[in-house]
Amino acid sequence: MTKLIATDMDGTFLRGDMTYDKLQFRNIHERMMAAEIKFVVASGNQYYQLQSFFRIILILYIWQKTVLIFVL
């Protein structure tokens, strides 16, 4: 059973133009939360840069060798 999904941002989660399909991700994230699967962003980007991509959604961020956990 999957408990956690982690992704890098640049070149993995984000398109080449630094965007993603927000509606599709919101739908997927809601299903993940219902199944108690955590979504993790692991990146060398600064926290505020990462947070700008997910203004509505609270997730776990791992950036610059630091961990910040939001309890959903």
Residue among 55, 45, 60, 54 at smallest CA distance from 9: 45
How many structural domains does the chain have?
1
| 37 touches 72 (CB < 8 A) | no
pTM above the 0.85 mark?
no
Average pLDDT, the chain: 79
Query: Domain residues for 63?
Result: 4-68
The dihedral formed by the CA atoms of 19, 67, 58 and 24, expressed in degrees to the nearest 10: 30
**pLDDT > 70? residue 58:** no
What CATH number is associated with residue 58?
Answer: 3.40.50.1000
Main-chain phi, psi angles of 30, to 5 degrees? -60, -40
Looking at per-residue pLDDT, the higher value among 61 and 49 belongs to 49
Residues designated catalytic: 8
